[in-house]
């Protein structure tokens, strides 16, 4: 028999579909992958090392740059960890502002994922539609804190800036607009035969291996495990709102797609309620000493970022700087399952599966 030549292909570090500097060495037999080895670390900036010489407030901008698609949730997890350690009471208005920006950020992040995922699959228009909607959110953030990507919005004890006049109304108007657009997206993409054929049954894993690999977020919920930290281990004021945790059971790329798509809708529901209950006035910062020295001890807080469980582990020695700061980066953990999923798949599916996991390389490399 004719043996086809085995091909060793370096996908990345510079490749259109790795969404950053990520390299994966694949052995190909024809177009079928026989072995895949991810190589990461090209974007490693040593955030955790840098943090050991910075005060807690100074660390916050570094978190912006980890998962740069969802900077608000990163801001929050660090502040939340310090606040837990200090046992701080956060003013109501600040909590609402935090929650609103986090949910807006979740929508923005999922929109980026949705657009780029379809770009990976070869449809280019959805990308521009998604970015149009994301632009509205980014503009709202811009009004709020003067930044469009790396916000540095939250502080230990609250938020830095109060909502400008009319800002809440903008969020209120955004909700029905986004709902309408989601219907359009559904018509354009979710029922497209080519799209379904590309994602259904691709990159399937079961709940068992999802748990074993420590997957979180949509990657976990697509296998039927109903676990969302906003519901199961509530933080901030999520327990006051009524929303569902979308779950799919198939565990393939399509299930992950549906989960994320539904999450946008659920975030809109949360936003709708939050905007209604938004306190008229009040403080946006708790009473926090100028130099933050959390008590000696250890804390691990985790919240539901758009990509899954982002955690922050602080070891404090009652100094202004953390003794050790460790982030559990969901992209880093979620990416581990990739080699297992890729074996036996084609080159085309590599892109589909990698996109389906939804990684941000800034976060993978820390």
Partner 1 sequence: MNLLQDLTFSSFMWFLSGAVVLLAVVLGFVTYAIYFERKVIGWIQLRKGPNRVGPLGLFQTVADVLKLLLKEDTIPRNADRFLFILAPVIAFVPAFVVLATIPYTSLLQFADLNVGLLYYFALSSISTIGILLGGWASNNKYSLLGGMRSAAQMISYEVPLVMSVVGVVLLSGSLSLNTIVEGQAGGFWQWNILPQFVGFIIFIIAAVSELNRTPFDLPEAESELVAGYHVEYSGFRFAFFMLAEYVYVYAIAALTTVLFLGGWHSPLPFLDFIPAIVWFILKFLSIVFFLFWIRATLPRIRVDHLMSLGWKVLLPLALVNIFVTTIVIELIKYFK
Partner 2 sequence: MSDQKQVTEMDPKESKKNIENIEEEVTEEPSPNQDRLDRIVELIKTNIAEDAIEVAFINELDRDLPCIVIRSPYWVKTAMLLKESELLKLNYLRNVSGIDFETHFEVVYYLLSMSTGNQLDVCIKVKADRENPSIPSITSVWNTANWNEREIYDLLGVQFPGHPNLKRIMMPDDWEGHPLRKDYEPIDPEV
Partner 3 sequence: MLENFKDFLLNGENLLFIFFSMLVIIGAVFLINLQKVVHMVIALATTFISLAGLYVLLEAEFLAFVQVLIYAGAMTILMIFGIMMTKHDRQNEEPKRPLHNGLLLLGSIGFFFIIYLAIQEAAFPIQEFTSVEENTELIGIDLFTWHVIPFELVSVLLTVAFIGAIIVAKREED
Residue 225 binds partner 2 (CB under 8 A): yes
Distance (Å, whole) CA 128 – CA 132: 6
Select from 38-46, 187-195, 259-267, 355-363 the region that touches partner 2 (CB under 8 A): 38-46
Select from 121-129, 220-228, 284-292, 327-335 the region that touches partner 1 (CB under 8 A): 121-129
Nearer to partner 2, 41 or 122 (CB): 41
The entry of partner 1, partner 3, partner 2, none that residue 348 binds, CB within 5 to 8 Å by partner kind: partner 1
Tally of CB atoms within 10 A around 344: 9
Residue 336 binds partner 3 (CB under 8 A): no
The entry of partner 3, partner 2, partner 1, none that residue 188 binds, CB within 5 to 8 Å by partner kind: partner 1
Q: Site for partner 3 (CB under 8 A): which residue of 9, 30, 139, 197?
A: 30
Q: How far is CA 217 from CA 246, 250, 290, in A?
A: 10, 15, 36
Select from 173-181, 187-195, 297-305, 326-334 the region that touches partner 1 (CB under 8 A): 187-195
User: Any residues with CB less than 8 A from the CB of 291 and at least 6 apart, and which?
Assistant: 55, 320
The entry of partner 3, partner 2, partner 1, none that residue 211 binds, CB within 5 to 8 Å by partner kind: partner 2
Q: Site for partner 2 (CB under 8 A): which residue of 196, 313, 347, 348?
A: 313
Distance (Å, whole) CA 226 – CA 87: 29
Q: Are 182 and 265 in contact (CB under 8 A)?
A: yes
Q: What single-letter DSSP state applies at residue 239?
A: G
Residue 122 binds partner 2 (CB under 8 A): no
The gap between the terminal CA atoms of the chain, to the nearest Å, is: 48
> What's the chain's Rg over C-alpha atoms?
21
The entry of partner 2, partner 1, partner 3, none that residue 2 binds, CB within 5 to 8 Å by partner kind: partner 3
Q: Are 325 and 51 in contact (CB under 8 A)?
A: yes
């Amino acid at each position: 028999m004719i043996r086809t030549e085995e091909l060793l292909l370096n996908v990345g570090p510079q490749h259109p579909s790795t969404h950053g500097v990520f390299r994966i060495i694949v052995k190909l037999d024809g177009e079928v992958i026989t072995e895949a080895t991810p190589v990461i670390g090209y974007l490693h900036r040593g955030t955790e090392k840098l943090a050991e010489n910075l005060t807690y407030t100074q660390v916050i901008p570094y978190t912006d740059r980890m998962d740069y698609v969802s900077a608000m949730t990163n801001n929050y997890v660090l502040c939340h960890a310090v606040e837990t350690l200090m046992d701080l009471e956060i003013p109501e208005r600040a909590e609402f502002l935090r929650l609103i920006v986090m949910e807006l950020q979740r929508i923005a992040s999922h929109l980026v994922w949705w657009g780029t995922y379809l770009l990976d699959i070869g449809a280019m228009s959805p990308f521009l539609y998604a970015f149009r909607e994301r632009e509205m959110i980014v503009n709202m953030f811009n009004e709020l804190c003067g930044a469009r990507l790396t916000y540095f919005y939250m502080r230990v004890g609250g938020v830095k800036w109060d909502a400008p006049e009319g800002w809440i109304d903008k969020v209120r108007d955004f909700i029905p607009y986004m709902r309408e657009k989601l219907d359009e997206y559904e018509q354009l993409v979710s029922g497209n035969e080519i799209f379904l054929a590309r994602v259904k049954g691709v990159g399937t894993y079961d709940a068992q291996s999802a748990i074993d690999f420590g997957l979180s977020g949509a990657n976990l919920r697509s296998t039927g495990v109903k676990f969302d930290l906003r519901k199961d281990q509530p933080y901030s004021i999520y327990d006051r709102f009524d929303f569902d945790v979308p779950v799919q059971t198939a565990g393939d790329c399509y299930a992950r797609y549906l989960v994320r798509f539904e999450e946008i809708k659920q975030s809109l529901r949360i936003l709708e309620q939050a905007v209604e209950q938004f306190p008229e006035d009040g403080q946006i910062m708790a009473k926090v000493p100028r130099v933050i020295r959390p008590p000696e001890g250890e804390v691990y807080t985790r919240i539901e970022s758009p990509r899954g469980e982002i955690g922050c582990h602080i070891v404090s020695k009652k100094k202004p700087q953390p003794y050790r700061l460790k982030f559990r980066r969901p992209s880093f953990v979620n990416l581990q399952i990739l080699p297992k999923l890729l074996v036996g798949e084609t080159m085309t599916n590599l892109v589909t599966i990698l996109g389906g996991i939804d990684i941000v390389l800034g976060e993978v490399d820390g």
